[in-house]
Structure 1
Amino acid sequence: MEKCELVVLQTSDIHGNILPINYGNNKPTNSGLAKLASVFKNILKTSDCTLLIDNGDVIQGTPLTYHFAKHINELSNPVVSVMNELGYDGAVIGNHEFNYGQGLLKKAIKESTFPWLSANIVKKETKEPAFGKPYFIKTFHNGLRIAVLGVTTHYIPNWENHDNIAGLEFLDAFETLNMWVEHLQINEQYDLLIVSYHGGFERDLETGNPTEQLTGENQAYRMCMEIAGIDILLTGHQHRRLSTQLNGVLVAQPGHIGQAFSKVSIKLEKLNGSWTIVEKASEIIAIDENTKPDGKIVELTNVYEDSTQNWLDEPLGEIVGDMRVQSPLEVRKKDHPLIEFINSVQMDAAGVDISATALFHNGAPGFSNKVTMRDIVSNYVYPNTLKVITVSGQDIKDALEKSAEYFILNGEGDIQVNPSFESPKPQHYNYDMWEGIEYHFDISKPLGNRVTHLKYKGEPLKLNEPFNIVVNNYRAGGGGNFQMFKNKPVKKEIQTDMTELLANYIQRHKRIEAECNKNWRVLSLK
C-alpha cells in the first residue's frame, strides 16, 4: 500500500519582519523570516510532499518595509525576494497589503515566483478576482493533488484609505468561500483542500460563544461549522497561536512577526487508486535564541537594511523636558506630553482644533531629548494618514464612551485595562485620547455613562452641533468599531503619512517643549 506524508508550513502576519532585530533599539529578537528560514530549509529538504504558505500581512510593518516603500521602491520588494528564495508555494493577500497602495502591491505580486490568492477581493466592474487566482492545485510526484484556496477578511474598507482600494470590491469571505469550495468540488480533481483565510475566529473554539462583536471581520468558526469539504483551515489576522481541530477541520494560526510558524502533518494512504487521510495533526513551532538566522536571507536583505539604518539615525530635533513613556497605563489615564504632541501635529496639519490619537502599543518608548527617525517609527508604528471629518457633539461623546470601555475596576477598585483589549489580540490602538476638548471618565460608572465632564472652549459641548475633528484614516472609517465616525462627511484628507508629518514638524521647529494642558483624565469616584 502506497503511503505519504504531506507537510504544510504556514506563516502569517509577518508584518515585514525579516531580520531578528528591534528597530527601536537595534537589539536582537527571536523573530523574522531569516530565523524561520533556518528551520524551514531543514524541514523542506527532508519531506517529499511539502507546501509553504503565507497567510497575509507580510509586506508591511517594519521600518525596513516602510523605508523601502517610500524611498527605494525602484528595487525589488525585500520581503518578496526572501519569499522567492524560500520557495513559497502561495500567499494570501492580507488587509495590510494595501497600506502602501495598489501600485506597490501589484509590483510585489509581479515579482513573486508564487501566486497570491484572494477569491473575495474582486474588481468592482467585472467581479473577477482582482489579484490573480482564487486557488491553485499542486500535484506531487506520487500523483497527490492538493488544492489551496485563499480568502481575506472583507472588513478592509472599514480600515483602509479609499485611494488604496479604489476599483475593488470586498465580497463576504464566508459566502465567497462557500461558493468556491462548491466550484472546486464540481470542477476540479484533488485529494485534499486547504483554505488559507486571512481572518480569525469570532467565537470561542470550545463553547461557540461570541468572543467579539460579530461584525463579519472574523468568520473562521462559521467556516468550520457550516462549509463542508475543508480539510485544513489556515488562519491569521488575530496574531494568535492556535493548533486544534474544530468540527473535523484541522485549524492552525501561527502568531505574528515570525516568532513561530504552523506545521501541519497529514498522513495519507492510497486506497483503490485514491489518496485517503488516515491521520492529521498540527503544531506551533517557535524559534528562540538558539535559532540562527539564515545567511542567504541576511545577504539578500543587506542593501535594504543598510539604507534603512542610515535613514533611522538621521537627527531631527530635540525635546525640551520629558516626553518618555514610563508606564503605558498611566499615559492612558491622564494627559501626557507625548500624546499632546501627536495631537498638536495632527491639528497643525489639518487646520482644526479637535484631535484624537492613541498610544498604539505598550512598547512605545516616547521621545528622549535627541529625536531621530528611529524614535518616530518606534512610537508611531502604522502608516496612517489623516482625515478631517464632520461629526456631531453626540458623536464625540459616543466615541469617548467607546474609548472608556478600555478600562475596568479590579476587586480592589483599581483601574485596569479591560481584558477584551488585550486578548485574543492586543488592541491598545482602539483607545483614543483627545485634544481640544475637556473630559473626564469615571470608571466606577456603567459602560455608556462614564463621560462625566465634557466641555469645548470652556462651555458644555453642544451635542447637536457639528464639529470638524482630525483622526487617522483607520478611525475615520469606523475602525475599532467606532461606528459613529463611519460615512461622516470628509472635509479634508492629508495624504502624508503621520511618521513624515511628525518628522517634518520636529525638523521645522527644532526644539519641542514637552508639555500638556491636562485637559482630560480617567478616575474612579466609587
Structure 2
Amino acid sequence: MKLNRSLLLLPCLSALLLALAFLSPTPLSGAANRIQITVLGTTDLHGNIYPVDYYTNKPDNRGLAKVGALIKRFRKENPNTLLVDSGDTIQGTPLEYYHNKKNNTPPDPMMLSMNALGYDALAVGNHEYNFGLKVLEKARKEAKFPWLSSNTYKKGTDKTHYQPYLVKEVSGVRVGILGLTTPGVPVWENIQNYAGLEFREPVSEARKWVSVLREKERVDVVVIAIHMGLEEDLRTGEINPGQVPNENRAVAIAKQVPGVDVIFMGHTHRDVPALSVNGVLLTQANHWGRHLARADLYLQKEGDRWQVYAKSARTIPVDDKVEADPEILKLTEPYHSETEGWLSRVIGESAAELTAREARWRDTAILDLIQRVQLEAGKADASMVASFNADARINKGPITVRDIAGLYVYENTLVVLEVTGQQLKEALEHSAKYFRSYEPGKTAADLVDQRIPTYNFDIAEGVTYILDITKPLGQRIQDLSFRGKPLDPNQKLKLATNNYRVNGGGGYTMYKNAPVVYRSSEEIRELIIDWVERHKTIPTEPTNNWRIAP
C-alpha cells in the first residue's frame, strides 16, 4: 500500500507540537518529574549487515552496520533509549543462507551484531522458521536479548513457546514490550519447521497480555513490536488483497486493544514514518535496514505513576551520509568473506544476457530456466513460477552462484501436485488478478495492482495460454492448451510448484487437498545451481508459451 506522506504526518502533528516542551534528554533540567524516553526500531532486516547488494555485488544503502551507526548516535543524544526489532531477521541474504545451511557452527552473524548493538528485544517473524527449529533455537540461544511472541504457543497447551513480554525500567519508568507474530506461519512453512507450535489470533492475545502488563506488571508505557503491518488502506477502509487470515492486524490492535502507546510494525516491507490510530502511534522501519524507526515518548509524573503526555515518531533513512559502523563490519567480516567466496564460484556459461526486468509482461528465458529445472526435477507435466526479483540478471559469459541466488531469492522447496485442468486454470485466473481492470491506452505495466506482491504473480510452463486483461476477473485466461489441445477441466496433470504455494501462500487455495506426487527436501535454488553445473550452458531463448493481450 502506498501511503501519502501528509496523511502519515498530520495525525501526529499535535503530539509533535506538545513534545516541543520536552526536547532535552531526561530528566529535564529543573523538572525531575518529566522524562523523555526514546524507542528505536528495526524490522525485516533479513540478514542484511554489510551495506552491499550481494546479488549485484554493488554497494547499497542498507544493513545493520549503517543502522548501527544511527543507533549509537541516538543513544548518545538520549541515554534513556530502548531498541527493538520486529522480526524476519535470520533469513534473506546469501550471508545468512550460507551461515544457516553451509556452515552453521559459528554464532549467527545477526545475533552477533545485534548483541553488540545492545538490542532489548526481538519479535519473532515468520521467516525465522525458514531453516527449521534447530537453526532457530541456536540463534535464539545466542541472542543476549529475549525473542518475544505472545501468540505462539506450545501446541495443545496454554504455555507460550517464547517469552511473551519484557519489562524494562528506564530511569524509574516501567516500560512493557510485547511481541506478536503473524499467524500465517502454517500457511507458508513446511510443517516440520514449526512442529509442536500453534499461532493464535493476535488481537485477543494482545488484549490479554496488555492487560497483564498494565494491571499485574504496573507498567507506565506499553510498546508492541509486531511482525505484522497495516491490513487496510486507512483512507478507504479497503482491506489489502492477498492476505491470509489475520496476517496483518496492526490497525485492529490499535483500535481494539486499550492501553497501547506505540506499535512498531513489520512484515509488509513498508516505510511508515508515523500514523495515529485511535490514539496509538504506529511506525515501521521499511526493510533490509534501509530505515530506522524512532518513537519519542514524553512523560510526566503524577503521584507515584508516570503518564504519557505526548509522543511522536519518524523514520530515518539510511543514505550516503550514514557511514557504516566499523565495529559491526569488523565483527562480521569473516562471514562476509566466506559468503563472497561461495557466491563467486563459476558454475556454467551463458551465450547471451538474460534479465527478469520484463518477466511480468512477457515470457523470458531467465524464468524459463526455473521452469525447466522444476519440470525435470519433478518429472512434471506443467510448472508454475513467479518472478521473485525484477533485477535478476545473468550476464553473457560465466554464470556464478551469485546469479542464481539473485534469480531465486527464497528458500522454497519443490513440490509436485496432481491437479486437474480446472485447478490449473483457477490458479492462472488467481494470478491474473495482478492486473487491474483494463483501460484503453494503458499498458500492462500501468495496470499492475500495486497492492499485490510480484511474487504472487505466477506464470505457467508446459501449457500455452493468453492472459487477456480486457476480460473480467475470472475470465482472463484464454486458449489454455496442453500438448496442442484445449486443456480438459477434468484432465489430470502433474504440476511442479513450491511449498509456499502448496500451503496456500499468496491465496492459491485451489491446491488444497491436491495429492502430493513428489516433495524435494532441497531448495529450488540449489536444484537450479546443480542443473547449470551439469549442463554447463543454459537456453537463451524463451519458449513463448504465453502472452498478454491486447
TM bucket, shorter chain: over 0.9
- Matched-pair contact (CA < 8 Å) for 1:137–1:148: yes
- Matched-pair contact (CA < 8 Å) for 1:321–1:513: no
Identity of aligned residues (%): 39
Q: What secondary structure is seen at the aligned counterpart in 2 of 1:48? A: coil
CA positional deviation for 1:334:
2.5
- Matched-pair contact (CA < 8 Å) for 1:324–1:368: no
2:80 is matched with 49
Residues 65-118 of structure 1: per-residue CA shift (max 9 Å, x gap)? 111111111010000000000000000110111111111110010000000001
- Give the stretch that moved more between structures: 510-519 or 478-487: 510-519
- Matched-pair contact (CA < 8 Å) for 1:405–1:418: no
Distance 1:278 1:335 in 2: 57
2:255 is matched with 225
Q: What secondary structure is seen at the aligned counterpart in 2 of 1:335? A: coil
Q: What secondary structure is seen at the aligned counterpart in 2 of 1:512? A: coil
1:483 is matched with 509
2:534 is matched with 508
- Matched-pair contact (CA < 8 Å) for 1:477–1:487: no
Distance 1:374 1:490 in 2: 31
1:302 to 330, 333, 346: 333
- Matched-pair contact (CA < 8 Å) for 2:51–2:61: yes
TM-score (norm 2): 0.91
Q: What secondary structure is seen at the aligned counterpart in 2 of 1:333? A: coil
- Matched-pair contact (CA < 8 Å) for 1:55–1:197: yes
1:236 is matched with 266
Amino acid across the alignment from 2:421: G
Residue 286, structure 1, aligned to residue 317, structure 2? yes
Distance 2:442 2:217 in 1: 61
Residue 158, structure 1, aligned to residue 184, structure 2? no
1:37 to 50, 63, 68: 68
CA positional deviation for 1:486:
3.0
- Give the stretch that moved more between structures: 85-94 or 97-106: 97-106
Distance 2:459 2:351 in 1: 22
Residue 389, structure 1, aligned to residue 417, structure 2? yes
1:361-400 → structure 2 map (5 Å cutoff): 361-400=389-428
Distance 1:250 1:227 in 2: 13
1:185 is matched with 214
1:83 is matched with 114
Distance 1:368 1:94, change over 3 A: farther
Distance 2:544 2:96 in 1: 36
CA positional deviation for 1:212:
2.9
Amino acid across the alignment from 2:225: S
2:10 is matched with none
1:440-451 → structure 2 map (5 Å cutoff): 440-451=466-477
1:4 is matched with 35
Distance 2:494 2:197 in 1: 29
Amino acid across the alignment from 2:388: F
Distance 2:130 2:91 in 1: 7
1:68 is matched with 99
Distance 1:347 1:404 in 2: 22
Q: What is the root-mean-square deviation of aligned Cα atoms in Å?
A: 1.6
Residue 19, structure 1, aligned to residue 47, structure 2? no
TM-score (norm 1): 0.95
Residues 236-259 of structure 1: per-residue CA shift (max 9 Å, x gap)? 111111112111001111101101
- Matched-pair contact (CA < 8 Å) for 1:342–1:357: yes
- Matched-pair contact (CA < 8 Å) for 1:338–1:367: no
1:344-493 → structure 2 map (5 Å cutoff): 344-408=372-436, 409-416=438-445, 418-420=447-449, 422-423=450-451, 427-493=453-519
* Structure 1 ranges of 4+ moved more than 6 A: none
Q: What secondary structure is seen at the aligned counterpart in 2 of 1:67? A: helix
Distance 2:459 2:330 in 1: 43
Residues 30-60 of structure 1: per-residue CA shift (max 9 Å, x gap)? 1110001111111113313211000001111
CA positional deviation for 1:460:
1.4
- Matched-pair contact (CA < 8 Å) for 2:353–2:393: no
CA positional deviation for 1:133:
0.4
- Give the stretch that moved more between structures: 458-467 or 407-416: 407-416
- Matched-pair contact (CA < 8 Å) for 2:359–2:390: no
Distance 2:214 2:405 in 1: 47
Give the number of aligned pairs.
516
- Give the stretch that moved more between structures: 205-214 or 269-278: 205-214
Amino acid across the alignment from 1:339: L
Distance 1:127 1:320, change over 3 A: farther
- Matched-pair contact (CA < 8 Å) for 2:432–2:473: yes
2:234 to 193, 198, 205: 205
CA positional deviation for 1:417:
5.1
Residues 340-396 of structure 1: per-residue CA shift (max 9 Å, x gap)? 111110111111121111111222224533100110111111111111122221111
Amino acid across the alignment from 1:205: L
CA positional deviation for 1:209:
3.2
Q: What secondary structure is seen at the aligned counterpart in 1 of 2:409? A: coil
